[in-house]
């Protein structure tokens, strides 16, 4: 009976075996890989990725990665292809066929059909001498010494390597196309990731009040302004110029230091040279500023003029985390 210690060791052995398969595959990368990537980057069509069995699942994941990183791609199931789905493939498309053996019956039927319109065929296989290997324009070698499966049967190392090679293709294409963070944002507009890449400070200022007082405002006026605008802060403004900032913390510290504030004004307790951020800046950048200075509010400017206040709570409500 296996103990917990045995189970942990099995897991470690599996991870080590799969990682070694990836490392050993590095020496198999050659000009075929580079040429394939170049052809994919130059095509006016899509990259159609096909496979059967476990390789089909890997193909689906690679398609998702490529589509999200700027390379239009489509999955074609090898078995379904010969029952009508081949109609999805156009003459401009490049085809990547994934098969560990390269000799499965479905692949032998499909490959000649994929080649009849002279589409470029890239084969990802562990056997360069297989049917797929010999009929591909470019071969990406996915050879492994053995699977992690104790019976050397269940696809483990082989599918891990296929997935890693798919990532290598995607990253190489990103580098080739100079794919930037802004490009990535175009394909990920939803969720926390999309907000982190796209949401700007001005988007959190819509319908927001602008707490402000003059430097001569009384402390009572300051307290009323902070309370009514419910942002825990007010800017001190004179002639459209930001002179300082007063937070509810400044009010508490003032009360600790003095018994009477009847003669005090906003300019007497304000913090000068407050931290500001432009309304066109990303909210994720605003969050970095807030965290770096351990503060909860930032004065927002637009064309160097006071535009409002952005609060840490508003950013957290959007689900953006650093």
Annotated binding-site members: 77
Q: What are phi and psi of 277, to 5 degrees?
A: -145, 145
Helix axes 4-25, 157-177, angle to 10 degrees: 50
Rounded CA-CA distance 132/289 in Å is 54
Rounded CA-CA distance 258/23 in Å is 69
Helix axes 54-68, 157-177, angle to 10 degrees: 20
The CB density around residue 310, as the number of other CB atoms within 10 Å, is 28
Residue of 309, 252, 245 lying closest to 273 (CA atoms): 245
Rounded CA-CA distance 104/111 in Å is 11
Tell me the CA distances in angstroms from 110 to 72, 103, 190, 267, 276, one per residue in order: 22, 11, 37, 79, 61
Rounded CA-CA distance 29/146 in Å is 19
Known binding residues for Zn(2+): 77
Rounded CA-CA distance 288/202 in Å is 16
Residue of 124, 113, 121, 123 lying closest to 93 (CA atoms): 121
Contact status, residue 142 vs residue 165, Cβ threshold 8 Å: yes
Residue of 126, 149, 108 lying closest to 18 (CA atoms): 149
């Amino acid at each position: 009976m296996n103990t917990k210690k045995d189970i942990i060791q099995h897991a470690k052995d599996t991870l080590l075996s799969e990682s070694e398969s990836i490392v050993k595959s590095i020496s198999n990368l050659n000009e075929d890989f580079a040429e394939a990537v170049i052809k994919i980057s130059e095509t006016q069509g899509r990259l159609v990725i096909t496979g059967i069995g476990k390789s089909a699942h890997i193909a689906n994941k690679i398609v998702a990665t490529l589509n999200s990183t700027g390379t239009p791609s489509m999955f074609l199931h090898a078995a379904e292809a010969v029952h009508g789905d081949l109609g999805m493939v156009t003459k401009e498309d490049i085809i990547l066929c994934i098969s560990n053996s390269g000799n499965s019956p479905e692949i032998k039927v499909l490959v000649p059909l994929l080649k009849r319109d002279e589409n470029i065929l890239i084969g990802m296989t562990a056997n360069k001498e297989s049917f797929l290997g010999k009929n591909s324009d470019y071969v990406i070698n996915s050879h492994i010494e053995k699977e992690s499966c104790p019976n050397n049967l269940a696809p483990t190392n082989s599918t891990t390597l296929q997935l890693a090679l798919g990532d290598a293709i995607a990253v190489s294409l990103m580098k080739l196309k100079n794919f930037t963070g802004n490009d990535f944002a175009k394909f990920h507009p939803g969720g926390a990731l999309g907000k982190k890449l796209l949401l700007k400070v001005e988007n959190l200022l819509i319908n927001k009040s602008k707490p402000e007082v003059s430097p001569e405002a009384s402390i009572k006026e300051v307290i009323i302004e902070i309370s009514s605008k419910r942002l825990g802060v007010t800017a001190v403004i004179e002639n459209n110029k930001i002179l300082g900032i007063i937070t509810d913390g400044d009010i508490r510290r003032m009360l600790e230091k003095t018994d009477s504030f009847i003669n005090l004004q906003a300019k007497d307790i304000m913090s000068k040279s407050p931290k500001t951020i432009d309304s066109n800046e990303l909210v994720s950048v605003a969050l970095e500023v807030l965290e770096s200075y351990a503060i909860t509010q930032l004065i927002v400017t637009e064309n160097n003029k006071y535009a409002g206040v952005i609060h840490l709570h508003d950013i957290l409500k959007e689900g953006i985390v650093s």
